[in-house]
Amino acid sequence: MQRLRQSPTDPGFVQDPYPFYDRLRAAGPLAIWEDYAMPGAAGRDTVDALLRDRRFGREDPFPPDRPAHQAGFWAVEDHSMLELEPPRHTRLRAQVLRAFTSRRIAAMGPEIRALAHQLIDAMPAGPFDLLEAFARPFPVRVIARLLGVPEADAPHLLRWSNAMVGMYQARRSHADEVAAAEAATEFTAYLSDILDAPRPGGLIARLAEVAAEGTLSRAEVNATCILLLNAGHEATVHTLGNGVAGLCAAGLWGAPVTEALVEEVLRHDPPLHMFTRYALEDVAAFGHRFARGDRVGLLLAGANRDPAAYPDPARFDPARFPDAPPPVSFGAGLHFCLGAPLARLELLEGLRALTARLPGLRVVEPPRYADIYHFHGLNRLIVARD
């Protein structure tokens, strides 16, 4: 197996990681990414197969000792279905799906649409940062409504979310770890108060009902609410920013916002670039032998730019769907993203509102990506309306 080096915090890589994914893919189904000391996959078929392979999972069979200053973070994360395998994952996901139904999500369409127009109404006349004015407040306010928490608390949710996802960034520091633990502790205390007197109709109220039946613990309800915020909000912020920048760069701003265009936004420049799996047993896969506990990095963004699946993959082309295979931005298999229907709805309604109300939108400063790998999103997106 070939060995490749590429620092995930190198400025050139942060701005454009796709050439490295091309190198990794050309090296074979798997190649060692030395900076992470593990094999990585960037071909769509390989990534999709490993995502679905039940011999690999999210739980580390040999979890390392954790520093005391991280305890608050792991007190939440250890109950997150994203980090669990069957049978606990199966029980948790089944119970959450009782509350997080597709009907409930679809019913939010009109209020998501209205919120998008409300945020556009408040945009300044001159050049402004679209991330601050729209991409950040839009999904966090949707999540607040979905959970059934006061919308005025959205800034707290946003602050906690930003701190907690810092644990998964390649450049994280001791200070980031402390901030993540403190945020998790504060968020848990906040949710405990909400769960004691949940607002009728919100997801928290429904999860509280499930917990009362004894099928979910309070810790599992807390972790689920935090997961919905962190995974759904953070990803949608980056996808909206990357999508608007990509549409403008391709000269397609103002094109009809269809389901196919949303899929191309998700494929072309997704918000999460790598998802790690552990071998749950000794495994032979794609010419490599994994010992139990070995990791493999699945490069979702590399798979989405695989020319074998998407001809001319760097080109933004909504016409490739629905005939092209679906992007792997939401994962696949057991851990396929629970919030995918909500994310797609937010992107559809958000981009439709933006293109309808701001037909002359243009990017007036070169977009720059933030140093937040394995996430991929812009620092800011300065735009103007003609």
**pLDDT of the residue at 281:** 97
Asked if omega into 374 is within 30° of 0 (cis), the reply is: yes
How far apart (Å, rounded) are the C-alpha atoms in residues 51 and 63? 21
**pLDDT of the residue at 240:** 98
Structural domains of the chain in order of their starting residue, each with its CATH number: 3-60+67-384 (1.10.630.10)
**pLDDT of the residue at 196:** 82
**pLDDT of the residue at 201:** 78
pTM, two decimal places: 0.94
How far apart (Å, rounded) are the C-alpha atoms in residues 239 and 375? 10
**pLDDT of the residue at 214:** 81
**pLDDT of the residue at 205:** 86
- Adjacent-strand bridge partners of 205: none
**pLDDT of the residue at 160:** 94
**pLDDT of the residue at 149:** 87
Asked if omega into 325 is within 30° of 0 (cis), the reply is: no
Q: Are 74 and 185 in contact (CB under 8 A)?
A: no
Burial readout 271-308 (b: 16 or more C-beta within 10 A, e: otherwise) = bbbbbbbbbbeebebbebebeeebbbbbbbbbbbbbee
How far apart (Å, rounded) are the C-alpha atoms in residues 136 and 126? 19
How far apart (Å, rounded) are the C-alpha atoms in residues 148 and 103? 17
Q: Are 113 and 349 in contact (CB under 8 A)?
A: yes
Residues of the chain predicted below pLDDT 70 = none
